[in-house]
């Protein structure tokens, strides 16, 4: 098995991935705060960590990816108030959009996508542990984390403790023992329309504690990889790490992995600039394959420039791969091309360098195109599977497991001569966008025309 190396933000070094439990890797990636439709930049961590999971599975590891949805947050109260709607309703609607939009990327779903609102019990329990260990204190129904009670705070982000700003503004300033402290629990304020019971009265959790509790609940402590955008390192991840270490005396995660931001005309893409494009809108325009290929063209740690031109480049590259795929045969690829396929996977093992891996994939395509006679496509299929792009080959491999299961049941029904059931399953598949074609090698699943 290849040794997989990843850059760890905490130690600022590339480290070998040494799973907590042999053969198993747990990944937690911070998901969106659902106060509006997600923008195209939000798709980057979704793509990076979904592809990482696929690669780890290719390498024989059992990977569990948890990506949360922050559906309790100040931003949601503010956005709901601005349009005069209940905050829970707005969050629910935006969560549904997020699932639908990211679904169109064609990468499948994470293994778990917990909502903060469904995890308030474990969140309260972790805050209680922090209060008990005197790392947190309650004031007027709020609870704050006592930052200076934890030696080593600031290690993840590498910031000097005296130059930190928790970004909470004036909120709670008169109740905090130290301006450096941050909120774990906030008492319900006027204009907030959701609240949960706690030992400190009605209120709701702060953002950072939601992730600490959800990650622990689903992956345990000291899980393998904690990920998210580089903009989350401070204060969000610093605080997640601090809460768990203080409350449980064990680290939250073994390795911290951060993706670079999307850049538009030299400026970081953020919603406040108003130059952002919605993920759903971009997907409707270029499709999931082009967008996934666009993201794969940059190293995950680097910022990536976003422009129409880059998207067009990716669309052309997708077409080149499709084109090559049409000329390939179904069988094994020639051994002489194996070093290029190997270079692809080596690049992924080397700090998940999808950009370099794609270079090897394009070299493979060029070499295959140059050959006379039919070339077997097994290498290309294997590489594209890991990137979540096997659909470029328009083949069965890209059909979701539910569709494959239906297709198998249809085959069984036909073998049992239950034509009515077979037809019913065929119709059900068509609704999902798939069609069974009876080819020379048996039934094949292809995207419905």
Binding site for Zn ion (CB under 5 A): 30, 211
Q: Least distance to Zn ion from the beta carbon of 379, Å?
A: 37
Q: Least distance to Zn ion from the beta carbon of 28, Å?
A: 8
Q: Least distance to Zn ion from the beta carbon of 123, Å?
A: 12
Name which of 49 and 137 has its Cβ closer to Zn ion.
49
Name which of 118 and 323 has its Cβ closer to Zn ion.
118
Name which of 166 and 290 has its Cβ closer to Zn ion.
166
User: In the numeric block, which tokens belong to residue 227?
Assistant: 């990920």
Q: Least distance to Zn ion from the beta carbon of 236, Å?
A: 6
Q: Helices 288-296 & 378-387, crossing angle to 10 degrees?
A: 90
Q: Least distance to Zn ion from the beta carbon of 125, Å?
A: 18
Name which of 217 and 378 has its Cβ closer to Zn ion.
217
Name which of 69 and 358 has its Cβ closer to Zn ion.
69
Residue 253 · residue 156 · CB < 8 Å: no
Nearest to 26 by CA among 313, 179, 222: 222
Q: Least distance to Zn ion from the beta carbon of 230, Å?
A: 13
Name which of 30 and 47 has its Cβ closer to Zn ion.
30
Q: Least distance to Zn ion from the beta carbon of 437, Å?
A: 44
Name which of 210 and 396 has its Cβ closer to Zn ion.
210
Q: Least distance to Zn ion from the beta carbon of 208, Å?
A: 7
Name which of 30 and 380 has its Cβ closer to Zn ion.
30
Q: Least distance to Zn ion from the beta carbon of 35, Å?
A: 15
Rg (CA), the chain: 24
User: In the numeric block, which tokens belong to residue 206?
Assistant: 């702060």
Name which of 208 and 379 has its Cβ closer to Zn ion.
208
Residues in the chain: 449
């Amino acid at each position: 098995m290849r040794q997989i190396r990843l850059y760890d933000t905490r130690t600022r070094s590339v480290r070998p991935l040494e799973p907590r439990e042999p053969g198993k890797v747990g990944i937690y990636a911070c998901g969106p705060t659902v106060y509006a439709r997600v923008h195209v930049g939000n798709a980057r961590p979704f793509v990076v960590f979904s592809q990482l999971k696929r690669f780890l599975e290719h390498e024989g590891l059992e990977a569990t990816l948890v990506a949360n949805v922050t559906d309790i947050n100040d931003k949601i109260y503010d956005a709901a108030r601005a349009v005069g709607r209940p905050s829970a309703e707005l969050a629910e609607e935006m969560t549904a959009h997020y699932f639908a939009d990211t679904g169109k990327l064609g990468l499948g779903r994470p293994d778990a996508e917990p909502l903060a609102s469904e995890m308030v019990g474990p969140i309260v329990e972790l805050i209680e542990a922090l209060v008990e260990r005197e790392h947190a204190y309650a004031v007027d129904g709020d609870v704050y984390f006592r930052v200076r009670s934890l030696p080593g705070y600031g290690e993840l982000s590498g910031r000097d403790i005296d130059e930190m700003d928790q970004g909470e503004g004036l909120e709670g300033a008169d109740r905090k023992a130290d301006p450096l402290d941050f909120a774990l629990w906030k008492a319900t304020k006027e204009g907030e329309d959701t609240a949960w019971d706690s030992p400190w009265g009605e209120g709701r959790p702060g953002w950072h504690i939601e992730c600490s509790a959800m990650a622990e609940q689903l992956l345990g402590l000291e899980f393998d990889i904690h990920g998210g955008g580089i903009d989350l390192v401070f204060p969000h991840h610093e605080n997640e790490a601090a809460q768990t270490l203080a409350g449980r005396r064990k680290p939250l995660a073994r390795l911290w992995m951060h993706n670079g931001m999307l850049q538009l005309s030299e400026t970081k893409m953020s919603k406040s600039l108003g130059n952002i494009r919605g993920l759903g809108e971009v997907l409707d325009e270029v499709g999931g394959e082009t967008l996934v290929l666009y993201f794969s063209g940059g190293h995950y740690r680097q910022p990536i420039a976003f422009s129409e031109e880059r998207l067009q480049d990716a669309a052309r590259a997708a077409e080149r791969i499709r084109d090559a795929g049409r000329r390939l045969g179904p069988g094994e690829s020639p051994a002489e091309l194996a070093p290029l396929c190997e270079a692809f996977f080596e690049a992924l093992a080397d700090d998940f360098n999808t950009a370099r891996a794609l270079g090897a994939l394009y070299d493979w395509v060029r070499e295959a195109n140059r050959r006379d006679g039919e070339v077997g496509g097994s290498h290309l299929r294997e590489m594209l599977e890991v990137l979540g792009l096997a659909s470029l080959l328009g083949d069965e491999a890209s059909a979701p497991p539910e569709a494959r299961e239906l297709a198998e049941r249809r085959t069984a029904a036909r073998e049992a001569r239950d034509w009515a059931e077979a037809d019913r399953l065929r119709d059900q598949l068509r609704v999902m966008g798939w069609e069974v074609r009876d080819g020379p090698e048996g039934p094949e699943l292809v995207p419905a025309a």
